[in-house]
Amino acid sequence: MAKHFEIIPSLLCKSKKEFLTKLKRIEPYVKRAQFDIMDNVFVPNKTVQPKEFKGLKAKINIECQLMVKNPADYLLDCCRMNAKLFIFHYESYKNAKKIISFINQIRAHKMQAGIAIKPATPAIKIKQFLKLVDMVLVMTVQPGFGGQKLLPSTLKKVKQLRQWAPKLDIEVDGGINKDTAQLAVKAGANLLVAGNAIHKAKTVPEGLAAIKRNI
């Protein structure tokens, strides 16, 4: 099983103000947050962009998930906002040579590298990159919006990836709550991204405790 287990609040925000308000609310309770970055091309939604946060001094680590057509356009902005981890989608590039060179570009910008797959993309598509990345992300909903229901078929891919990579960090994102968290962990995920289950809870500690309760 991978080294550690973590619940990671997602920051899917329309404005700089919304991002900073949500960040401040979660900072005392978690070690890391996921910044959802969308361009209204790769997914039918647009979020606040990383260029708004140059020199950000967050008390926790920020990982950026790039749901965009061309993730290379965002490397510098994510680096300048002190992101620790840059997660791009396999579907943005698909070409193995391009993906391997892009992983190196991410590292050249002093960030860790992660690769994500949409629900319809089979796990086999990223098998050859498992030794080159620091983590993989299995989207458990169609990327683009919070508050959706987890798609159970996606957990089969988590199980497959865990068999191929016993020690690798495997993250899931979308529809994670007090009922689905245990299913994701049982399948082999060790990093759980949650949006509504945390931001809609009365307090952040209550939201985190509810997710952890049945694991």
CB nearer to ligand DX5: give 62 or 141: 141
As a whole number of angstroms, the distance between CA 115 and CA 136 comes to: 5
Assess 138 for contact with ligand DX5 (CB under 6 A): no
Catalytic residue among 36, 39, 134, 169: 36
User: How open is the CA angle 108-162-96, to the nearest 5 degrees?
Assistant: 40
| 173 classed as catalytic | yes
Partners of 135 in beta bridges: 114, 169
Interacting span for ligand DX5 (CB under 6 A) from 14-22, 75-83, 88-96, 194-202: 194-202
86/97 Cα distance (integer angstroms) = 18
* Three-state secondary structure call for residue 156: helix
CB of 139 to ligand DX5, least distance (A): 7
Closest-by-Cβ residue to ligand DX5 is 195
Is position 165 an interface residue for ligand DX5 (rule: CB under 6 A)? Answer: no
Element (H, E) at 81: none
Binding region for ligand DX5 (CB under 6 A): 10, 12, 36, 65, 141, 143-148, 173-176, 193-197
